[in-house]
Amino acid sequence: MGAMQIPTRREVIENHQEAGGRVAAVLPVHNPRGLLRSFDLLPVEVWGPPGMDTTTGDEHLQAYTCSIVRCSLAFVLSGALEAVDVIVVPHACDSLQGLGSLMIDFIKPSQPVLPMYLPRQAGAAAQDFMAAELRALFERLVEITGKRPTEVEVMAAVEREEEADGLLTQLSRQRAQLSLSCPELYRVMRAREYLPAERFAVVARHALEQRAAEPRSGVPLILSGLLPEPMRILEVIAEAGGRVAADDLACCGRRLYPPGRSDDPLQRLAQSLLGGSPDATRGSSVQDRVDHLQRLVLQSGAKAVVFYLVKFCEPELFYLPQLRAALERSGVRSVTIEVDVGDPMSHQVVTRLEALLETLG
């Protein structure tokens, strides 16, 4: 079976709107998809986007703000989001919280801007906090759309998203058995950022049927950070003799959400969103992050961890020294690479990856 054609973000948005649906632009990291879909709002994630000229946004932000936020603000100011109906800003970090405040109080786009706070701890209290945030978001969406979905409708939307999340988990964990190249696999997995759950399920099942005749070669690595941008990073790793055996990326591996358990749909969604891998943007402990990375190393057979970080990403950088020290104590090599999502892949990055893989090969 050949590769399945994945529609673009623009095509998906236009098709949804032509059918009478609305669109929500959602900034990183954790996306309340089930809640939005119950209002017939298609959640489309905005991770920048990469390649934006950030000049218009830079005049409103500190020079040390990360490029995802700078690109996002420039994207809003360019008018590129005029077609969407709401903008959701999860408070995953201080920079995103600042961006949300800017858009609510100073640079006011034509659409409502809806913040969503995330708990910075685990346990029952965190789930209750998250559920309360989702209920507040629910009521704002009722005001905006004039629609009030029933509990049954919200639960059905949440369960559809859980099915899609389960398929994303299978793609991530079965990658070694699939015939897709690394860039092809990540194109499929990152389609979760904008495809409706039911369409993603079709694409994911097709990808899972593409089984490799023999195990994929290459030195196994773990890729950690926010997102694999520029996407050229995946080709560079393969060309240098490596392969991504697992990832700890905020856009993929940290969002392999388990299904919730509650009979209340918003509690269930809260349980799912907080059930993903330990994550800096949710305030997970350093030890939880260390334990998670070490489990990934054991499960994947990885020889090293590549911390592929967006410049000035404070949540990632705060954890980095302790993560690298813990990995070193357990005999796992690591390397740190900082990039700006708006810049092309530099020769320095290529050289550092080649040097790492040469010593591991």
Strand partners, 225: 249, 308
Instruction: Round to whole Å and give the CA distance between 270 and 133.
Output: 9
Please give the pLDDT value at position 1: 42
How many Cβ atoms from other residues are within 10 Å of residue 59's Cβ? 9
Residue-wise pLDDT tens digits, 126-185:
999 999 999 999 999 999 999 999 999 999 999 999 999 999 999 999 999 999 999 999
Dihedrals φ, ψ of 201, to 5°? -60, -40
Instruction: Round to whole Å and give the CA distance between 63 and 92.
Output: 19
Which burial class, exposed, middle or buried, applies to 191 when counting CB atoms under 10 A from its CB (0-12, 13-18, 19+)?
buried
The number of C-alpha atoms within 13 Å of 216 and in the hemisphere containing its C-beta is 23
Q: What is the pTM of this model?
A: 0.95
**Is the pLDDT reported for residue 4 higher than 80?**
no
CATH architecture group of domain 9-121: 3-Layer(aba) Sandwich (3.40)
With a pLDDT cut of 90, the percent of the chain lying above it is 87
Identity of the residue numbered 55: T
Q: How confident is the model at residue 3 (pLDDT cuts 50, 70, 90)?
A: low
Residue-wise pLDDT tens digits, 260-282:
999 999 999 999 999 999 999 99
Residue reference for tokens 């099942």: 205
Q: Reduced to 3 states, what is the DSSP secondary structure of residue 115?
A: strand
Identity of the residue numbered 16: H
Residues 256, 261, 267, 268: is their CA dihedral positive or negative?
positive
Identity of the residue numbered 170: Q
- How many whole angstroms from its chain centre is CA 301? 24
Residue-wise pLDDT tens digits, 214-228:
878 899 999 999 999
Q: C-alpha distances in angstroms, 287 versus 25, 67, 125, 290, 291?
A: 33, 28, 20, 5, 6
**Is the pLDDT reported for residue 361 higher than 80?**
no
Please give the pLDDT value at position 52: 86
Q: Which of 167, 194, 165 is nearest to 273 (CA)?
A: 165
Q: Are 226 and 310 in contact (CB under 8 A)?
A: yes
Please give the pLDDT value at position 122: 83
Strand partners, 87: 25, 113
The number of C-alpha atoms within 13 Å of 46 and in the hemisphere containing its C-beta is 27
For the residues 15-30, what does the mean pLDDT come to? 96
Q: Residues 173, 176, 182, 187: what is their CA dihedral angle, to the nearest 10 degrees?
A: -40
For the residues 15-19, what does the mean pLDDT come to? 95
Q: How confident is the model at residue 51 (pLDDT cuts 50, 70, 90)?
A: confident
**Mean pLDDT of all residues in the chain?**
94
